[in-house]
A and B are shown apart, each in its own frame.
Chain A
Protein backbone atom coordinates (compact mmCIF):
# COMPACT_ATOMS: atom_id res chain seq x y z
CA UNK A 1 0.00 0.00 0.00
CA UNK A 2 1.14 3.51 -0.71
CA UNK A 3 1.65 6.26 1.84
CA UNK A 4 2.26 10.01 1.67
CA UNK A 5 3.90 11.88 4.51
CA UNK A 6 3.92 15.62 5.08
CA UNK A 7 5.92 16.15 8.25
CA UNK A 8 4.95 19.76 8.89
CA UNK A 9 1.44 20.69 9.96
CA UNK A 10 2.25 24.39 9.87
CA UNK A 11 4.92 26.33 8.07
CA UNK A 12 5.27 30.03 8.72
CA UNK A 13 7.52 32.22 6.55
CA UNK A 14 7.94 35.90 5.89
CA UNK A 15 6.93 37.47 2.61
CA UNK A 16 9.79 37.25 0.13
CA UNK A 17 11.43 34.30 1.89
CA UNK A 18 11.89 30.95 0.17
CA UNK A 19 9.34 28.23 0.80
CA UNK A 20 9.77 24.47 0.84
CA UNK A 21 6.88 22.20 1.72
CA UNK A 22 8.08 18.67 2.28
CA UNK A 23 6.47 15.54 0.93
CA UNK A 24 7.77 11.98 1.11
CA UNK A 25 6.07 8.91 -0.25
CA UNK A 26 6.31 5.17 -0.08
CA UNK A 27 5.20 3.14 -3.07
CA UNK A 28 6.79 0.14 -4.71
CA UNK A 29 5.78 1.09 -8.24
CA UNK A 30 6.12 4.19 -10.38
CA UNK A 31 3.88 6.85 -8.88
CA UNK A 32 2.29 9.94 -10.26
CA UNK A 33 2.55 12.80 -7.76
CA UNK A 34 0.54 15.94 -7.30
CA UNK A 35 0.23 19.00 -5.14
CA UNK A 36 -3.29 20.19 -4.36
CA UNK A 37 -4.03 23.50 -2.66
CA UNK A 38 -6.98 24.84 -0.70
CA UNK A 39 -7.17 28.59 -0.23
CA UNK A 40 -9.36 29.99 2.52
CA UNK A 41 -13.05 29.41 1.81
CA UNK A 42 -12.27 27.82 -1.55
CA UNK A 43 -12.33 24.28 -2.87
CA UNK A 44 -9.43 21.93 -3.08
CA UNK A 45 -7.78 22.34 -6.47
CA UNK A 46 -4.86 20.95 -8.39
CA UNK A 47 -1.71 23.07 -8.20
CA UNK A 48 0.73 20.94 -10.16
CA UNK A 49 1.66 17.40 -11.17
CA UNK A 50 5.17 16.04 -11.51
CA UNK A 51 4.74 14.83 -15.08
CA UNK A 52 4.04 18.30 -16.43
CA UNK A 53 7.22 19.74 -14.90
CA UNK A 54 5.60 23.18 -14.96
CA UNK A 55 5.95 26.15 -12.67
CA UNK A 56 2.54 27.18 -11.41
CA UNK A 57 2.17 30.47 -9.49
CA UNK A 58 5.95 30.34 -9.06
CA UNK A 59 5.86 26.90 -7.44
CA UNK A 60 7.86 23.94 -8.68
CA UNK A 61 8.22 20.39 -7.46
CA UNK A 62 10.72 17.79 -8.56
CA UNK A 63 10.21 14.09 -8.12
CA UNK A 64 13.26 12.53 -6.48
CA UNK A 65 12.85 8.78 -6.76
CA UNK A 66 16.04 8.09 -4.83
CA UNK A 67 14.80 9.99 -1.81
CA UNK A 68 11.12 9.23 -2.55
CA UNK A 69 10.35 12.90 -2.19
CA UNK A 70 8.29 15.50 -4.02
CA UNK A 71 8.94 18.74 -2.17
CA UNK A 72 7.13 21.91 -3.25
CA UNK A 73 9.29 25.00 -3.59
CA UNK A 74 8.94 28.68 -4.30
CA UNK A 75 11.84 31.12 -4.17
CA UNK A 76 9.91 34.13 -2.88
CA UNK A 77 6.72 33.66 -0.86
CA UNK A 78 3.77 35.97 -1.42
CA UNK A 79 0.94 36.72 0.97
CA UNK A 80 -1.55 35.10 -1.42
CA UNK A 81 0.32 31.79 -1.10
CA UNK A 82 -1.12 31.33 2.38
CA UNK A 83 -3.21 28.16 2.11
CA UNK A 84 -3.40 24.47 2.95
CA UNK A 85 -1.23 22.33 0.71
CA UNK A 86 -1.72 18.60 0.18
CA UNK A 87 0.68 16.22 -1.49
CA UNK A 88 -1.02 13.30 -3.24
CA UNK A 89 -0.02 10.12 -5.02
CA UNK A 90 -1.75 8.13 -7.71
CA UNK A 91 -0.66 4.53 -8.09
CA UNK A 92 -0.23 2.91 -11.49
CA UNK A 93 -3.40 1.16 -12.55
CA UNK A 94 -5.24 2.65 -9.62
CA UNK A 95 -7.84 4.51 -11.62
CA UNK A 96 -6.42 7.86 -10.59
CA UNK A 97 -7.67 7.52 -7.01
CA UNK A 98 -5.46 9.61 -4.80
CA UNK A 99 -3.64 8.91 -1.56
CA UNK A 100 -3.21 12.21 0.27
CA UNK A 101 -0.86 13.42 2.95
CA UNK A 102 -2.23 15.17 6.01
CA UNK A 103 -1.47 18.60 4.59
CA UNK A 104 0.70 21.56 5.53
CA UNK A 105 -0.76 24.94 6.41
CA UNK A 106 1.44 27.63 4.87
CA UNK A 107 1.24 31.03 6.49
CA UNK A 108 3.04 33.90 4.81
CA UNK A 109 3.58 36.79 7.16
CA UNK A 110 4.22 40.38 6.19
Chain B
Protein backbone atom coordinates (compact mmCIF):
# COMPACT_ATOMS: atom_id res chain seq x y z
CA UNK B 1 0.00 0.00 0.00
CA UNK B 2 0.94 3.65 -0.10
CA UNK B 3 3.49 4.83 2.39
CA UNK B 4 3.69 8.08 4.31
CA UNK B 5 3.57 11.02 1.95
CA UNK B 6 4.74 14.58 2.54
CA UNK B 7 4.28 17.77 0.60
CA UNK B 8 5.88 19.81 -0.71
CA UNK B 9 9.10 17.88 -1.30
CA UNK B 10 11.03 21.15 -1.42
CA UNK B 11 10.15 24.58 -0.15
CA UNK B 12 12.16 27.76 -0.46
CA UNK B 13 10.87 30.73 1.48
CA UNK B 14 12.03 34.13 2.53
CA UNK B 15 12.94 34.90 6.11
CA UNK B 16 9.91 36.10 8.00
CA UNK B 17 7.32 34.25 5.91
CA UNK B 18 5.06 31.50 7.28
CA UNK B 19 5.19 27.97 5.86
CA UNK B 20 2.96 24.91 6.10
CA UNK B 21 4.25 21.40 5.69
CA UNK B 22 1.87 18.51 5.17
CA UNK B 23 2.02 14.86 6.16
CA UNK B 24 -0.33 12.08 5.08
CA UNK B 25 0.29 9.02 7.27
CA UNK B 26 -0.35 5.45 6.27
CA UNK B 27 -4.07 4.76 6.36
CA UNK B 28 -5.12 3.36 9.72
CA UNK B 29 -1.95 4.36 11.52
CA UNK B 30 -2.79 5.82 14.89
CA UNK B 31 0.34 7.72 15.85
CA UNK B 32 2.15 10.44 13.91
CA UNK B 33 5.53 12.04 14.59
CA UNK B 34 7.38 15.04 13.24
CA UNK B 35 11.17 15.25 13.26
CA UNK B 36 13.63 17.61 11.67
CA UNK B 37 17.16 17.08 10.47
CA UNK B 38 19.41 20.09 10.27
CA UNK B 39 22.68 19.96 8.36
CA UNK B 40 25.13 17.69 10.17
CA UNK B 41 22.67 16.86 12.93
CA UNK B 42 20.71 13.77 13.79
CA UNK B 43 16.97 13.70 13.61
CA UNK B 44 15.41 15.87 16.28
CA UNK B 45 11.96 15.06 17.66
CA UNK B 46 9.42 17.87 17.34
CA UNK B 47 5.89 16.68 18.14
CA UNK B 48 3.86 13.49 18.48
CA UNK B 49 0.16 12.74 18.04
CA UNK B 50 -1.48 9.59 19.38
CA UNK B 51 -5.15 9.06 18.63
CA UNK B 52 -7.34 11.62 20.36
CA UNK B 53 -4.86 12.34 23.13
CA UNK B 54 -3.28 15.74 23.57
CA UNK B 55 -0.13 15.95 21.44
CA UNK B 56 3.33 15.75 22.98
CA UNK B 57 4.82 19.10 21.97
CA UNK B 58 7.95 18.78 24.07
CA UNK B 59 10.31 18.94 21.09
CA UNK B 60 9.02 22.11 19.45
CA UNK B 61 11.94 24.56 19.49
CA UNK B 62 9.91 27.74 19.82
CA UNK B 63 6.36 29.08 19.82
CA UNK B 64 6.76 29.83 16.12
CA UNK B 65 6.26 26.12 15.54
CA UNK B 66 2.85 24.47 15.77
CA UNK B 67 1.19 21.39 14.38
CA UNK B 68 -2.25 19.93 14.12
CA UNK B 69 -3.71 16.66 13.07
CA UNK B 70 -7.18 16.77 11.62
CA UNK B 71 -9.55 13.83 11.82
CA UNK B 72 -6.84 11.62 13.20
CA UNK B 73 -5.14 11.51 9.81
CA UNK B 74 -3.43 14.35 7.93
CA UNK B 75 -1.09 16.59 9.87
CA UNK B 76 0.18 20.07 9.14
CA UNK B 77 3.32 21.56 10.66
CA UNK B 78 3.31 25.34 10.58
CA UNK B 79 6.33 27.53 11.07
CA UNK B 80 5.60 31.21 11.53
CA UNK B 81 8.05 34.03 10.80
CA UNK B 82 10.65 31.61 9.48
CA UNK B 83 14.30 32.11 10.37
CA UNK B 84 17.38 30.84 8.57
CA UNK B 85 18.03 28.35 11.35
CA UNK B 86 14.72 26.69 10.47
CA UNK B 87 16.31 25.41 7.26
CA UNK B 88 16.26 21.62 7.54
CA UNK B 89 14.63 18.46 6.27
CA UNK B 90 11.34 17.89 8.06
CA UNK B 91 10.36 14.24 8.36
CA UNK B 92 7.05 12.73 9.29
CA UNK B 93 6.53 9.18 10.53
CA UNK B 94 3.54 7.09 11.52
CA UNK B 95 3.03 3.87 13.44
CA UNK B 96 0.38 1.21 13.60
CA UNK B 97 -1.34 -0.01 16.74
CA UNK B 98 0.38 -3.17 17.88
CA UNK B 99 3.70 -2.32 16.24
CA UNK B 100 4.23 1.11 17.69
CA UNK B 101 7.96 0.53 17.89
CA UNK B 102 8.34 0.67 14.09
CA UNK B 103 8.09 4.13 12.63
CA UNK B 104 7.38 4.44 8.92
CA UNK B 105 8.96 7.57 7.54
CA UNK B 106 7.93 9.82 4.72
CA UNK B 107 10.35 11.21 2.14
CA UNK B 108 10.67 14.51 3.96
CA UNK B 109 10.26 18.17 3.05
CA UNK B 110 13.45 20.13 2.49
CA UNK B 111 12.89 23.66 3.77
CA UNK B 112 15.29 26.42 2.80
CA UNK B 113 14.88 29.85 4.36
CA UNK B 114 16.73 32.58 2.46
Say yes or no: A4 contacts B42, CB within 8 Å. yes
Given contacts A43-B3, A43-B105, A90-B101, contact A95 B48 (CB under 8 A): yes
Minimal beta-carbon separation of A72 from chain B (angstroms): 15
Cβ contacts A71-103/B at 8 Å (1 or 0 each)? 000000000000000101010000111111111
State the main secondary structure of chain B at its contact with A: strand
**Residue from A49, A51, A99 in contact with B45 in the complex, judged by beta carbons closer than 8 Å:** A99
> How many residues of chain B get a CB closer than 8 Å to chain A's CBs?
26
Residues of chain A contacted by B31 (CB below 8 angstroms): 95-96
Given contacts A43-B3, A103-B42, contact A97 B105 (CB under 8 A): no
Residues of chain A contacted by B33 (CB below 8 angstroms): 97-98
**Residue from A43, A46, A95, A100 in contact with B43 in the complex, judged by beta carbons closer than 8 Å:** A100
Q: How far is the CA of A101 from the CA of B42 in the complex (A)?
A: 5
Given contacts A43-B3, A43-B106, A46-B102, contact A95 B56 (CB under 8 A): yes
Say yes or no: B101 contacts A100, CB within 8 Å. no
Cβ contacts B28-57/A at 8 Å (1 or 0 each)? 000101010000111111001010000010
Chain B contacts with A in 75-99, Cβ cutoff 8 A: 91, 93, 95
Residues of chain A contacted by B3 (CB below 8 angstroms): 43
